[in-house]
Chains A and B, each alone.
Chain A
Amino acid sequence: MSKRSVHDMLEDPDFKSLSSQKNSISLVLTILELVLYFGFIALIAFNKPFLASKLSGGTATTVGIPIAVGTIIFSWIFTGIYIWWANNKYDVLVKKVKEKIGG
């Protein structure tokens, strides 16, 4: 691969769309994950009474417990969203770009 062709590939609209889609998906999901986790930490640091309140009248279960478990489950769902996108959209684009350069 000559240097010229690498540069051309990067300017190719298909590659540009591929890399910008990947960047935005990665960035959006990273920010969501940061908000999710540090939101949980912020609740512990600044709003303990909310986490300590009961889910409903008759139960001992506090709001904090489903929120903690939910943080774990949402983290997994986010990775699921990423892999769904990557398997169904990204890999198709990658294949297209690869075929173009015959790689």
Chain B
Amino acid sequence: MEQSTTIIGQTNPLAIMFFFVFVISTLVITYWAAKRTRTTKEFYAAGRSITGFQNGLALAGDYMSAASFLGIAGLVSTKGFDGLIYSVGWLVGWPIIMFLISEPLRNLGKYTFADVVAYRLSQRPIRAAAATGSLITVLFYLIAQMVGAGTLIKLMFNLPYEVAIVLVGALMIAYVLFGGMIATTWVQIIKAVLLLGGATLLVLMTLAQFGFSYGELFGQAEKLYSAKFLEPGGLITDPVDAFSLGLALMFGTAGLPHILMRFYTVPDAREARKSVFYATGFIGYFYILTVTIGFGAAVLVGQKVIMGIDKGGNMAAPLLAEALGGNLFLGFLAAVAFATILAVVSGLTLAGASALSHDLYVGVIRRGESNEKEEVRVAKIATIGLGVAAILLGILFKGQNVAFMVGLAFAIACSANFPALLLSIVWKKFTTKGAVTSIYTGLFLAVGLIVLSPTVWVDIFHKEQKATVEKQVKAIEDGSKARIADLEKMKAAGQDAAQMDAAIASEKAMADSQLKEAKSQMPKAPFKLKNPAIFSMGAAFLVGILFSLMGREKRAEEMYEEEKLRTYVGIGAE
């Protein structure tokens, strides 16, 4: 069933038509929202008018990035079971948000998670630190999305990379600038519905090919790619690294500023809670779909075709759509993927803008003394600034591997943001010093250790050296293989067997020692793990607790009672 022709990479009028329908309808919504976006409450929090169900969809729309849709389907199609590990990891942070964070966050804060951390501590240092953590998380996530968008759109619409980046940047600025949180929310809701609907359709069409039997699907996958395809393989070799990745995915979700910000768009804690329940359901359902799509693509399209178009497998889902539903379905899915990117970058931009205006400008520079009109104006300037920065960084990072940036965003979110947020909610003796040192420790360790890890140190800084060594290794292996094959031939042709066997053995030994020598030249990362979370998050908790125990903050402890009442009962929550 392998098909070799695809129109991916060519201009696709149907995709462009679907895309225009999406853009025009979202711009109409933005126009409508613009009339209702004057106060800070409207700009940052959609006037707290979103229902739990709507917010659940919007949360899902904010979270299900193109990286997770195309990336996980691609990973499953090329690596089989190992791809599932990511789809599970991307979901398990949501229950944690539900049990520990969603209600206190909604009851204590106004617009950003810094509101909660700063609730009973000294405003300025906390806001400066929390805003820094937010901004850096948002920026790395944003760059990864922009670079992904450019590459994707180039493949799907045959537009030049730079044009694609400018288009994405301009649209995201328009949504946020004019429509604020209301427009952003609706872009995310529409995108979530399209994505869930499109993926469901794709799964139904896939399963129809296998008589709606998963056993049949897996059976054919096994026949094509051996039983190994359905087993855990080489993705997780070091248990500590695996544990560390798990921590980053799980607690990183609970520290992502653009996700936390969505809890202020609902009227109360009850709706916040419902949001997480719906979001977890939608996202879980979606990740189960991507697994089916991945296996389906591997069987129906074939790894050769998938990896021929994109080595990382990112085109697996669109290729499957094309194979099953032709140009029309491919066009639809391409437009959905584009919509996905727009929804995620808009949410990120809004979170970045609120950190800059609400936390840095009003909280730090103006010491809390600013009026609403001024704050909204600063937020809008920040939106334009972030949008332009995203476009420039997107162009600057063209062609870079962006996977590590997503990893870094999660590592920073779980190390810098999450510990301070959690401790400020649950621990009476938490102090300003503890919070500030915890945030900066998490931030610097996460960034520093990733730079020293194999992902950046070897794959980026010592790229050429690594490539040279790999080339040498390959040359040695090929040469030795060829010489052994010659010797085998001579042996088969009747030459002295014992002598030939000895020659083969000595050839093997020589190749081994040469390989060892060559491999010793391989650049080594100073930090062995790919995922620093276990150290950076651990240290952030430890430092936060130690510095808090070193001194007492009387005012913070007194205010804890009021905070506690508000956390549980919601009295005084806006």
- CA distance in complex: A73, B231 (Å): 20
Contact call A41/B243, Cβ cutoff below 8 A? yes
Contact call B564/A75, Cβ cutoff below 8 A? no
- CA distance in complex: A19, B277 (Å): 21
A window 37-95: CB within 8 A of B: 37-38, 40-42, 44-46, 48, 51-52, 59-62, 64-65, 68-69, 71-73, 75-76, 78-80, 82-83, 86-87, 91, 94
Flag A12-41 by CB within 8 Å of B: 1 or 0 each.
Answer: 000100110010011001100100111011
Binds A, one of B219-227, B315-323, B448-456: B219-227
Contact call B232/A48, Cβ cutoff below 8 A? yes
CB neighbours (8 Å) of B404 from chain A are none
Partner of A103, one of B250, B280, B558, B569: B569
Partner of B81, one of A64, A72, A97: A64
Known A-B contacts A71-B92, A79-B277; A65 and B230 likewise in contact (beta carbons under 8 Å): yes
Total contacting residues, chain A, CB less than 8 A: 53
- CA distance in complex: A41, B243 (Å): 7
CB neighbours (8 Å) of A36 from chain B are 92
CB neighbours (8 Å) of A22 from chain B are 568
Distance of A66 from chain B, by nearest CB (Å): 10
Q: Is B239 an interface residue (CB 8 A)?
A: yes
- CA distance in complex: A78, B92 (Å): 11
B52's closest neighbor in chain A, by CB? A83
CB neighbours (8 Å) of A44 from chain B are 85, 232, 236, 242
CB neighbours (8 Å) of B84 from chain A are 64-65, 68-69
Contact call B232/A83, Cβ cutoff below 8 A? no
Q: Is B565 an interface residue (CB 8 A)?
A: yes
Binds A, one of B109-117, B281-289, B372-380: B281-289
Flag B323-338 by CB within 8 Å of A: 1 or 0 each.
Answer: 0000000000000000
Contact call B246/A73, Cβ cutoff below 8 A? no
Contact call A98/B231, Cβ cutoff below 8 A? no
Q: Is B191 an interface residue (CB 8 A)?
A: no
Distance of B399 from chain A, by nearest CB (Å): 32
Contact call A62/B277, Cβ cutoff below 8 A? no
CB neighbours (8 Å) of B565 from chain A are 6, 9-10, 15
B560's closest neighbor in chain A, by CB? A10
Point out which of A3, A7, A68, A71 has the most chain B C-beta atoms below 10 A from its C-beta: A68
Partner of B94, one of A3, A41, A79: A79
CB neighbours (8 Å) of B273 from chain A are 82-83, 86
Distance of A2 from chain B, by nearest CB (Å): 11
- CA distance in complex: A103, B573 (Å): 11
A55's closest neighbor in chain B, by CB? B215
Known A-B contacts A18-B568, A60-B230; A68 and B100 likewise in contact (beta carbons under 8 Å): no
Distance of B240 from chain A, by nearest CB (Å): 9
Main secondary structure of the interface of B (DSSP, over half): helix
B98's closest neighbor in chain A, by CB? A79
- CA distance in complex: A87, B92 (Å): 22
Known A-B contacts A38-B246, A60-B230, A65-B81; A76 and B280 likewise in contact (beta carbons under 8 Å): yes
- CA distance in complex: A19, B96 (Å): 18
Contact call B280/A79, Cβ cutoff below 8 A? yes
Flag B549-574 by CB within 8 Å of A: 1 or 0 each.
Answer: 00000000010011011001111000
- CA distance in complex: A58, B246 (Å): 33
CB neighbours (8 Å) of B223 from chain A are 60
- CA distance in complex: A73, B280 (Å): 9
Flag B133-164 by CB within 8 Å of A: 1 or 0 each.
Answer: 00000000000000000000000000000000
- CA distance in complex: A13, B194 (Å): 49
Q: Is B91 an interface residue (CB 8 A)?
A: yes
Contact call B569/A94, Cβ cutoff below 8 A? yes
CB neighbours (8 Å) of B232 from chain A are 44, 48, 51-52, 64
B240's closest neighbor in chain A, by CB? A45
Known A-B contacts A19-B568, A41-B242; A72 and B236 likewise in contact (beta carbons under 8 Å): no
Contact call B81/A75, Cβ cutoff below 8 A? no
Known A-B contacts A60-B222, A60-B230, A75-B95; A37 and B100 likewise in contact (beta carbons under 8 Å): no
Known A-B contacts A33-B96, A60-B230; A68 and B87 likewise in contact (beta carbons under 8 Å): yes
CB neighbours (8 Å) of A52 from chain B are 227, 230-232
Give 30 A-B contacts (CB < 8 Å), ordered by A residue: A1-B571, A19-B568, A26-B99, A30-B96, A33-B92, A33-B96, A36-B92, A37-B92, A37-B246, A45-B239, A46-B239, A48-B232, A52-B227, A52-B231, A60-B219, A60-B222, A60-B227, A65-B218, A68-B291, A72-B287, A73-B284, A76-B280, A79-B95, A79-B277, A79-B280, A80-B277, A83-B273, A94-B569, A98-B571, A101-B571
Binding site for A on B (CB under 8 A): 81, 84-85, 87-89, 91-92, 94-96, 98-100, 214-215, 218-219, 221-223, 227, 230-232, 236, 239, 242-243, 246, 250, 270, 273-274, 276-277, 280-281, 284, 287-288, 291, 558, 561-562, 564-565, 568-571
Lowest 7 A-B CB distances belong to which pairs? A52-B231, A60-B222, A45-B239, A68-B84, A60-B219, A37-B92, A60-B218
